[in-house]
């Protein structure tokens, strides 16, 4: 959470540096109340209050959620709180989670899973996971409750079946095409499909267009921040994206916002690990793979045909410490011997008043994408970041002199789940009713 004093300092810095801020969370926005700054919440509200024609037949929404972990369980809490209130605005007669699954078990309840008792029900009454049966139960529950004359779940009509994947699993994401062929829309914070093999990605996009189903994954980049929807808005209104640069990892944001020349880089990594900011193995963050997946997603949205394996990624894990042969303990023990590489880059940057930041970049004009440790001048918005915030800077034809910025927490259960929830509502609103 940003402190108000920092917020206004940050705002005035941005004004000086000719950047526009799209989103930082409500506290900052309250503190300067200017029309040129749009809060994430405002954006969400705008997206959700569009005048849509009210169709005659109420919709029946059946949701299957795979992965009720940190994000999935927060989403279930949010749905429990909102479902009833959403029926009228969505012109729906039913809005229910009818299936839940973790890596071992599934709970199928066509009438609706108990949103306050699901944990015990899944553990005690769950049956072995069967993804095929899971998917077909979601679609048949939507059809049964809709009173649709057509039993075909892939046809337009009042039955809206949505699969929400809150896992990080390849096994689940590789089944998206099969799920969609059964009539399901897909909503996910899981990056595995969006950054997976390009051929599969195109296959799903084509399928979605032909079958009028949606694949939405806003929360894969910047969690609840409106990053992908902002990009869509720019592209759909005819802007030309020149470049997207982003600090896309909360962990690496924290590490480089904390690290100053003179410190030992290994001490900052150890501190981040002790605070629980890193994955159990910090190399999962420092390898840059997670950031690279986000960059692939953004690059593809810009029309670049990028494969994860082909992308240039500056790993912050020293070569001799990579691979499963080196344990986490051994890695942490040996890390101080490799401090010099980051220290020299940071000292060089500081000598000219700059900072180093670990950044994902999509250079649309050059047709390239990558993840690098770069130097930025002290006046750049990346240099003003604090804590573990994410920041994405869009340079476009319209926002060339004063790039558009989205900033805020890029992780966390509630904000990420809300990002997934907004996608879910978008999917429901755009479901082909006829």
Ligand X SMILES: NC(=O)c1ccc[n+]([C@@H]2O[C@H](COP(=O)([O-])OP(=O)(O)OC[C@H]3O[C@@H](n4cnc5c(N)ncnc54)[C@H](OP(=O)(O)O)[C@@H]3O)[C@@H](O)[C@H]2O)c1
31 vs 273, beta carbon nearer ligand X: 273
Contact 377, 3 (CB under 8 A): no
User: Measured from the CB atom, is 123 or 366 closer to ligand X?
Assistant: 123
**In the set 1, 4, 171, 366, which binds ligand X (CB under 6 A)?**
171
Q: Mask 1-20, x = binds ligand X (CB under 6 A)? A: --------------------
- Single out the segment in contact with ligand X by CB under 6 A; choices: 98-106, 235-243, 276-284, 301-309: 98-106
> Can you tell me the distance from the alpha carbon of 333 to that of 327, in angstroms, rounded to the nearest whole number?
10
Q: What is the DSSP letter of 276?
A: T
In sequence order, which residues have a C-beta less than 8 Å from that of residue 341 and are 6 or more positions away? Answer: 318
Which of 68, 226 has the CB closer to ligand X?
Answer: 68
Decide: is 251 part of the binding site for ligand X (CB under 6 A).
Answer: no
Residue of 277, 292, 286 lying closest to 331 (CA atoms): 286
Three-point CA angle 222, 224, 230, nearest 5°: 70
| Among the residue ranges 101-109, 297-305, 323-331, 376-384, the one whose residues contact ligand X (CB under 6 A) | 101-109
Contact between 102 and ligand X by CB under 6 A: the answer reads yes
Whole-angstrom distance, CA of residue 295 vs CA of residue 118:
35
Of residues 30, 191, 294, 345, which has the active-site annotation? 294
Is the backbone of residue 198 left (phi > 0), alpha (psi -120 to 50) or beta?
alpha
Number of residues that bind ligand X (CB under 6 A): 25
Find the shortest distance in angstroms from Cβ 420 to ligand X: 8
By beta-carbon proximity to ligand X, the closer residue of 14 and 175 is 175
Query: Is 169 an interacting residue with respect to ligand X (CB under 6 A)?
Result: yes
| Residue with smallest beta-carbon separation from ligand X | 69
- Among 11-19, 185-193, 233-241, 356-364, the segment contacting ligand X (CB under 6 A): 185-193
Q: Considering only residues 40-79, where is the footprint of ligand X by CB under 6 A?
A: 66-72
For ligand X, which residue of 99, 183, 189, 360 counts as binding (CB under 6 A)? 189
Asked whether the beta carbons of 182 and 153 are under 8 A apart, the reply is yes
Question: What would the DSSP string read from start to end of 116-178?
Answer: TTHHHHHHHH-EE--HHHHHHHHHHHHHHHHT-S---TTSSSSEEEEEEE-S--HHHHTTHHH
Q: CA geometry: angle at 421 spanning 143 and 158, to 5°?
A: 20
Query: Can you spell out the DSSP letters for 230-260?
Result: HHHHHHHTT--EEEEEEE--HHHHHHHHH--
What is the rounded CA–CA span in Å between residue 315 and residue 234? Answer: 31
Q: Is the dihedral of CA 197, 198, 203, 205 positive or negative?
A: positive
Query: Which residue in the set 48, 80, 168, 350 belongs to the binding site for ligand X (CB under 6 A)?
Result: 168
- Exactly one of 167, 229, 249, 257 binds ligand X (CB under 6 A); that residue is 167
Told to judge if 294 belongs to the known catalytic residues of this protein, a careful annotator would answer yes
The residues carrying an active-site annotation are: 294
Contact footprint for ligand X (CB under 6 A)? 66-72, 101-104, 166-169, 171-172, 189-191, 219, 223, 411-412, 416
């Amino acid at each position: 959470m940003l402190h108000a004093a920092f917020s206004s300092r940050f705002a005035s810095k941005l004004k000086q540096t000719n950047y526009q801020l799209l989103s930082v969370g409500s506290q900052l926005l309250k503190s300067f109340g200017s029309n040129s700054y749009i809060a994430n919440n405002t954006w969400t509200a705008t997206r959700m209050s569009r005048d849509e024609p009210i169709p005659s037949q109420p919709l029946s929404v059946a949701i299957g959620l795979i992965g009720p972990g940190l994000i999935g369980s927060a989403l279930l809490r949010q749905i429990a709180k909102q479902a009833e209130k959403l029926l009228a605005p969505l012109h729906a007669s039913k809005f229910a989670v009818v299936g839940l699954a973790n890596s071992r078990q599934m709970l199928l309840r066509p009438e609706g899973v108990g949103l306050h008792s699901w944990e015990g029900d899944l553990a005690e009454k769950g049956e072995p996971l069967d993804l095929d049966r899971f998917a077909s139960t979601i679609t048949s529950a939507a059809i049964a409750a809709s009173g649709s004359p057509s039993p075909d779940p892939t046809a337009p009509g009042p039955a809206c079946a949505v699969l929400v994947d809150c896992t990080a699993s390849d096994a689940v994401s590789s089944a998206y095409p099969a799920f969609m062929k059964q009539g399901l829309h897909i909503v996910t914070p899981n990056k595995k499909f969006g950054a997976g093999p390009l051929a599969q990605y195109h296959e799903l996009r084509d399928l979605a267009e032909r079958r009028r189903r949606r694949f939405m994954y806003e929360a894969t980049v910047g969690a609840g921040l409106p990053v992908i929807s902002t990009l869509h808005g720019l592209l759909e209104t005819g802007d030309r994206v020149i470049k997207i640069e982003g600090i896309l990892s909360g962990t690496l944001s924290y590490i480089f916002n904390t690290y100053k020349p003179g410190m030992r880089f290994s001490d900052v990594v150890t501190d981040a690990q002790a605070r629980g900011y890193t994955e159990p193995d910090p190399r999962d963050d420092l390898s840059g793979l997670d950031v690279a997946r986000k960059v692939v997603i953004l690059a593809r949205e810009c029309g670049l045909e990028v494969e994860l394996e082909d992308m240039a990624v500056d790993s912050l894990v020293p070569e001799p410490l990579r691979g499963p042969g080196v344990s986490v303990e051994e890695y942490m023990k040996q890390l101080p011997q490799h401090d010099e590489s980051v220290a020299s880059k940071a000292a060089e940057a500081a000598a000219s008043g700059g900072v180093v930041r670990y950044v994902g970049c999509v250079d649309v004009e050059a047709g390239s994408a990558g993840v690098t440790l770069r130097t930025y001048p002290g006046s750049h918005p990346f240099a003003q970041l604090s804590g573990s915030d994410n920041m994405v800077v869009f340079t476009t034809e319209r926002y060339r002199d004063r790039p558009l910025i989205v900033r805020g927490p890029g992780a966390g259960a509630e904000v990420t789940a809300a990002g997934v929830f907004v996608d879910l509502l978008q999917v429901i609103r755009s479901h082909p009713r006829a």
